[in-house]
Chain A
Amino acid sequence: MKSFSRFTYPYILWMIIMICLPMLMIVFYAFTTQGNEVLTLQFTLDNFMRFFEDSIFPSVLWRSLKIAFITTLICIMIGYPCAYVISKLPGNKQSLMVLLITLPMWINMLVRTYAWRGMLNDSGLSNEMKVYIGMVYNFLPFMILQIHTSLSKMDQSLIAAAEDLGASKWQAFLKVTLPLSLPGVISGITLVFLPAVSSFFIPKLLGGGDFVLIGNLIESYFISTGDWNFGSAISLIMAVIILISMYITKKLDRQSKEVR
C-alpha cells in the first residue's frame, strides 16, 4: 500500500506547472518593465510606485475594501436572523429552506446579476446602491448557509440548561448561542469578503460604466490597455491585502475558540 504514495507524483508536477509557475509569473511581471525580452529584462519597483503615487489607485482600492466590508456587514445582519429562524424550524421544513436558499446559487452568477439589471433599470437608485444590492444578492447565501451549519450543529440542551439556570431568553442567546455560532459567522465572512473585494462583473453590470473597483482596474489593464506589468502589480497588492485579512480572521477564529 505504501507504493500508492507514488500516485501523487503526477499531480505534484502538475501543481508546480499549473499553480506555482503562474503565481511566480505574476510576481515576475510585477517587478519588471514592459517589453519582456530576456536580454532587455529590467527589474523595477516602478509599477508599485506608480500605484501609490497616483491618487486614483489607492482610492479605488479603498473603495473596494469599503464596499466589501459593508457588504459583509449587511450579509451578517440579514443572514444571521435568517439562519437562526431556519435552524428553529422542524427537520423537513429546514432542509426545504436550505434547498431553496441553495437553488439560486446553482444558477450562473452572471445570469443572476444580469437579472437585477432589468429590475433596477428604472428604479432611480444610485449606482453605488445597485452595486450593494448585487453584491449582497450574490454572497448572502454563503453567509446564511455557513451560519446555519454551525447553528444546527449546536446542542439544543445547552440553551435549555442556561434557561434552567435562570438566564432570560436574550441572555441565553448572547451567552450561549452567539458564541457557539461565531465560527460559522467567521467562515461566512471569508466567503463573502474575499470574493466581494475582487469582484469586477457586479460593478460593471450594475454600477453603470463609471463605477470602478480594484477588480475592474486589473481587468482593464490586462484586457484593454495591455499593460500587464502594472496589472500584475495591482493584483499582487490586492492578493497581499487579502492574505493579511485572511490571517487576521483566522487569528480571531482561534481566539473565539480559545475563549470557549
Chain B
Amino acid sequence: MKKNWLSKIYLILVLLFFYAPIAYVCIFSFNDSKSLSHFTGFSLEWYEKMFSNRTIMESIYYTVIIAIIATIVSTIVGTITAIGMSKSKRIIKESIEQVNNLPMLNPEIVTAIGFMLFFTSLNIELGFMTLLLAHIAFCIPYVILSVMPKLRQLDNNLAEAALDLGCTPLQALVKVIIPQIKPGIVAGALVAFTMSFDDFVISLFTTGPGINNISIYVYSNVKRINPTINALSTIIVLVITIVLVLVNVIPIIKERRGKKKNEKIMESNLI
C-alpha cells in the first residue's frame, strides 16, 4: 500500500514539472506590471497590447496559413506517393524510403541550412514562398511515414476484386484503396499540421524580412521582458487544450450516440 502511495506522489511531481511553467505564464499574463516575479494586480493590459500589435497578429496569420497550405499539399502528395510506393518494385520503394528518412534523421538545423543555401544559391529571395516550400518539404516525409503502414495492411485482393467487377484503376483507387487507408491519411495530416505549426528552426533559416511565424516572433522578442508574449502563450495554450479535449472527447460521444442509435434500431426491430 505504501508503495502505491509513493508512486502516486511521483506521478504528481512529474505532472507538476510539466504544468508549472505553463500555469506560471498563464497567471503572469494577467499581471498589471511588467514584472515576471511579483504579481501586483489583475489586468488585461497585455492582452490589449497583444491584439493591437500588428507584428504579433501577422505572425499568427502566417503560422496558420502556412500550416494549412503545407498540410493540404503534403497530405495529397504524401498519400499519392505512398500509394505509388506500395505498387513499386522493392528497390525503388526502399530507396525512396531511405531518402525520405533523411530529413527526419538529420538534425533540424542541418536540414534548415540546407534549404537556406539551396534557395539563396538559386537566387530565390527568402520570404513567404521559401518558407512554405520548406514546410511542405519537411511535412511530406511524416505523411508518407503514417500512410505506409496502412497500405501494408491493405488486402491487395480488394483492389483486384474492384477491377474484376469493372472498376477502372482510378475508381478502384478512390472507392477502395483511399477509404481503407483513411485513418493513416488523417493521422499524417494531423502530424503535418502540428509539425508546421510548431516549427521554429527550419522557419528561422528559410524566412525573409517581414515574414515571421509565432516561434520566430517569440525568439526575437525574448531578450527584453515582454509580457505580451505571456498573453500570446496563454491563448495558444487555451486553443490547443480546447482542440485536444474536443479531439479526445468527440469520438467518445459519437460512440455513445452510435450505441444509442443501434439500440433504438434494435428496439424498433423488436417491435
Contacts and interface: CB of A to CB of B under 8 A. Distances in A.
Interface in B194-209: 194, 197-198, 200-201, 204-205
B219 A201 contact: yes
A144 B18 CA distance: 12
B77 A20 contact: no
B33 interface: no
Contact of B37 (A11, A121, A195, A238): A121
Contact of B21 (A103, A115, A194, A219): A115
Interface stretch (B50-58, B112-120, B181-189, B256-264): B112-120
Contacts of A116: 21
A103 B244 contact: yes
Contact of B110 (A118, A223, A238): A238
B250 interface: no
Interface residues of A, number: 77
A114 B198 contact: no
B169 interface: yes
A254 to B, nearest CB: 17
B162 to A, nearest CB: 10
Contacts of B86: 4
A49 interface: no
Contact of B99 (A10, A15, A121): A15
B37 A85 contact: no
B11 A82 contact: yes
B211 interface: no
B129 interface: no
Interface string A180-211: 00000000000000110110110011000000
A5 B22 CA distance: 48
Contact of B20 (A99, A119, A201): A119
Given A11-B96, A23-B114, A78-B14, A110 B218 contact: yes
Nearest to B20: A119
A97 interface: yes
B235 to A, nearest CB: 10
Shortest beta-carbon contacts, A-B, top 9: A7-B84, A22-B114, A198-B107, A115-B21, A8-B84, A118-B36, A11-B81, A5-B88, A25-B117
Given A21-B118, A215-B107, 6 more contacts: A5-B87, A29-B117, A107-B233, A115-B25, A121-B37, A140-B18
8 contacts: A5-B85, A103-B241, A110-B215, A111-B232, A118-B37, A137-B17, A200-B201, A222-B116
